[in-house]
Copies of this chain bind each other. A is one copy, B any other.
Amino acid sequence: MGDADEPFSIQSVSKVFTLSLAMTAVGPRLFSRVGREPSGNAFNSLVQLEYEHGIPRNPFINAGALVVADTLLSRHDDPKTLILDHLSRLSGNPAVAYDPEVAESERETGFRNRALANFLKSLGNLENDVEAVLDLYFHQCAIAMSARDLARAFLPFANRGVNPETGAPEYAVRHAKRINSLMMTCGMYDASGGFAYRVGLPAKSGVGGAIACVLPRRLSACVWSPELDETGSSLAGTAALAIFTTSSGLSVF
């Protein structure tokens, strides 16, 4: 419905895909470098990183996504192409692409992410050059996709790792299940508890205004509306999903 085919920056929704690729590439050892717990409130993110010796709390906070990007750089010659090919195939849209202006803008103003990456490097949890990790991260945030593209790309998470369009296994069954659990507990920044309470679906939001979600074994969905609430998630998107799960009775709870 609406602007379902309008492309936008998927921003943090990209973290779900890079995590999926990293779990396939690295296996369970990935979780020696990044945790699986909600981060609590934002103000403690940096002290948490120091206190826990450079292990980010989960792969969806920025520090965790930087570590995930670092593992992709270590395992693949060209992770930027890998990610794009993956998303083109999943969405069925060959036009999925990086928006170079957005990536450049992130690079120029991303002082906080640059601070995090240097801090991770100082704590020994980045293998690659700081600027190379940031370049990959800024690019993944700048991927342009539509709500329809994202909803399709989320289908394997609702279908035990299998792409229902092609029948191809995109992720291991256990990985799909576990990524859903991480989205449920950590997917909505510091508001994952409230989102689980109101909506009750594993989901990932991005500051571009997208929220992609799944009901395991049933469906995937994506809403997009740029105005954000105070937690950084789409205001109208969250409301639409709350109405959807309440009126339909479709939720994991």
Establish whether residues B52 and A253, one from each chain, have CB atoms under 8 Å apart when the complex forms: no
Q: Tally A residues with Cβ within 8 Å of B.
A: 51
The residue from B35, B38, B180 contacting A38, defined by CB atoms under 8 A apart:
B38
A117–B130 CA distance with the chains assembled, in angstroms:
15
Q: In the complex this chain forms, how many copies of it are found?
A: 4
Give the dominant DSSP class at A's interface: helix
A192–B57 CA distance with the chains assembled, in angstroms:
12
A5-13, A75-83, A196-204, A232-240 - the one binding chain B: A196-204
Establish whether residues B119 and A111, one from each chain, have CB atoms under 8 Å apart when the complex forms: yes
Establish whether residues B58 and A193, one from each chain, have CB atoms under 8 Å apart when the complex forms: yes
Which residues of A, 33-68, contact B by the 8 Å Cβ criterion? 35-41, 43-44, 46-48, 50-52, 57-58
| 5 pairs of A and B residues whose beta carbons are closest in the complex | A40-B40, A38-B38, A111-B122, A115-B118, A115-B119
Report A's interface with B, CB cutoff 8 A.
35-41, 43-44, 46-48, 50-52, 57-58, 111-112, 114-119, 121-122, 130, 174, 177-178, 180-182, 184-186, 190-194, 196-197, 200, 202, 216, 246, 251-253
